[in-house]
């Protein structure tokens, strides 16, 4: 594993420990343990009917969305994440919820070998996943390898243009370069996680990549998937900027009057039959 992924793993192991004992309500743990769903309105609507599907959740973190997919009707669910702390929590939640799910520790590109090539009807990837990966083309090939003919990808992410911005003096300003200008990731140091939890992180350093929309769509097409939709959204699942207004359950938008790029995007794509 390269030094960027090693740092990210230390960071995510710590975050997983905090998130699995979350008291801020961000992770909707009680709701999932009671047989409900932690999905936001956008992804729950956009995945459509998943009854009877075999679903894989890449970068599943502590497994709550994976279990939600099962609660929403998937025939089987599998979740993969490179953090052993996250996967231990996911197994624990599955036991407590009484929900059958397969959770595996691994890097995204290992998923086809660990979970089975051509084994899934739905690959589900949402909110803060591909920004941790250096190689978006490898990611797309991995997704395509996991899907059966006719199987589909659902991706919902923070918008790359939004990720380039910071709020300065009440306006959004471009702060970070368009990816491709550099192969190096952006380096961040955060003393706390994004849920509002006041407990401190000690492994503060993390590295992220901003993949332009054209690179993501290009990678999906190059991997042999057919694009079903590409949508842009003006709401996001975290308070990306100070002063954001809650609009829907755990979804946030900018206050009126601030010129901004889209905050999120979603892609549906199918492996041709
Ligand atoms: C923000 S979380 C994903 C959140 C997700 N929407 C959920 O269901 O909670 C990002 C996850 O990506 C995982 N991750 C980061 N880099 C990875 C990699 N190279 N391979 C597998 N998992 C990775 C982290 O461990 C973390 O659990």
Q: Using the mean position of ligand 1's atoms as its centre, give its distance from the Cα of residue 130 in Å.
A: 8
Q: What is the pLDDT of residue 1?
A: 85
Q: Using the mean position of ligand 1's atoms as its centre, give its distance from the Cα of residue 60 in Å.
A: 6
H or E segment and range at residue 223: none
- What share of the chain has pLDDT > 70, as a percent? 99
Q: Quick check: CB of 254 below 6 Å from ligand 1?
A: no
Task: Report yes or no: 161 and 172 within 8 Å, Cβ to Cβ.
Answer: no
Q: Which domains does the chain have, with CATH numbers?
A: 3-270 (3.40.50.150)
Q: From its phi and psi, is residue 254 left (phi > 0), alpha (psi between -120 and 50) or beta? A: beta
Task: Report yes or no: 211 and 201 within 8 Å, Cβ to Cβ.
Answer: no
Residue matched to tokens 């998943």: 50
> DSSP secondary-structure letter at 134?
S
Low-confidence ranges of the chain (pLDDT < 70): 180-182
Q: Quick check: CB of 60 below 6 Å from ligand 1?
A: yes
> DSSP secondary-structure letter at 75?
S
Q: What is the pLDDT of residue 56?
A: 99
Distance of CA 254 to the CA centre of its chain: 21
Q: Using the mean position of ligand 1's atoms as its centre, give its distance from the Cα of residue 94 in Å.
A: 18
Q: Quick check: CB of 59 below 6 Å from ligand 1?
A: yes
Q: Using the mean position of ligand 1's atoms as its centre, give its distance from the Cα of residue 84 in Å.
A: 11
Q: What is the pLDDT of residue 201?
A: 94
207 phi and psi, to 5 degrees?
A: -125, 135
Q: Using the mean position of ligand 1's atoms as its centre, give its distance from the Cα of residue 165 in Å.
A: 22
In a mutational test of the pocket of ligand 1, which residue from 1, 9, 132 has the highest number of ligand atoms less than 8 Å from its CB?
A: 132
Distance CA 127, CA 60 (A): 10
Q: What is the pLDDT of residue 51?
A: 98
Give the contacts of 219 (CB within 8 A, at least 6 positions apart). 136, 137, 139, 140
Q: What is the pLDDT of residue 35?
A: 98
Q: Quick check: CB of 193 below 6 Å from ligand 1?
A: no
Distance CA 52, CA 121 (A): 9
Q: What is the pLDDT of residue 182?
A: 59
Distance CA 214, CA 79 (A): 27
Radius of gyration of the chain (CA): 18
Q: What is the pLDDT of residue 26?
A: 84
Ligand 1 nearest-atom number relative to CA 16: 27
Threshold 0.85, pTM exceeds: yes
Give the contacts of 34 (CB within 8 A, at least 6 positions apart). 97
Q: Quick check: CB of 4 below 6 Å from ligand 1?
A: no
Q: Quick check: CB of 26 below 6 Å from ligand 1?
A: no
| 135 token code pair | 């190689």
Specify the pairing of strand 102-105 against strand 186-189: unpaired
Give the SS3 label for residue 196. coil
Query: pLDDT tens, 87-125?
Result: 999 999 999 999 999 999 999 999 999 999 999 999 999
Q: What is the pLDDT of residue 273?
A: 85
CB burial string 45-80: b at 16+ within 10 A, e below: ebbeebeebbbbbbbbbbbbbbbbbbbbebebbbbb
Q: What is the pLDDT of residue 254?
A: 96
């Amino acid at each position: 594993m390269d030094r960027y992924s090693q740092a990210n793993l230390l960071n995510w192991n710590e975050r997983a420990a905090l998130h699995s004992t979350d008291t801020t309500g961000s992770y909707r743990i009680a709701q999932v343990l009671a047989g409900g769903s932690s999905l936001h309105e956008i992804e729950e609507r956009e995945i459509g009917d998943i009854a009877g599907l075999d679903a894989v959740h890449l970068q599943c973190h502590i497994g709550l969305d994976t279990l939600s997919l099962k609660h929403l009707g998937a025939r089987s669910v599998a979740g993969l994440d490179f953090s052993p702390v996250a996967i231990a929590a996911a197994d624990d939640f599955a036991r407590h919820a009484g929900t059958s799910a397969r959770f595996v520790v691994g890097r995204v590109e290992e998923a086809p070998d660990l979970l089975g090539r051509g084994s899934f009807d739905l690959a589900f990837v949402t909110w803060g996943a591909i920004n941790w990966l250096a190689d978006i083309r490898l990611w797309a090939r991995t997704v395509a390898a996991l899907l059966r003919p006719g199987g589909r990808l659902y991706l919902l992410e923070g918008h790359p243009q939004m990720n380039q911005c910071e709020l300065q003096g009440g306006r959004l300003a471009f702060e970070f370069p368009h990816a491709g200008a550099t192969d190096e990731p952006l380096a961040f140091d955060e003393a706390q996680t994004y849920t509002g939890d006041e407990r401190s992180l000690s492994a503060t350093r993390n590295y992220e990549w901003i993949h332009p929309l054209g690179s993501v769509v290009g990678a999906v097409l190059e991997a042999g998937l057919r694009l079903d939709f590409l949508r842009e959204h003006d709401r996001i699942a975290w308070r990306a900027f100070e002063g954001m207004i809650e609009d829907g359950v755990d979804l946030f938008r900018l206050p009126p009057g601030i010129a901004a790029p889209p905050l999120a995007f979603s892609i549906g794509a199918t492996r041709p039959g």
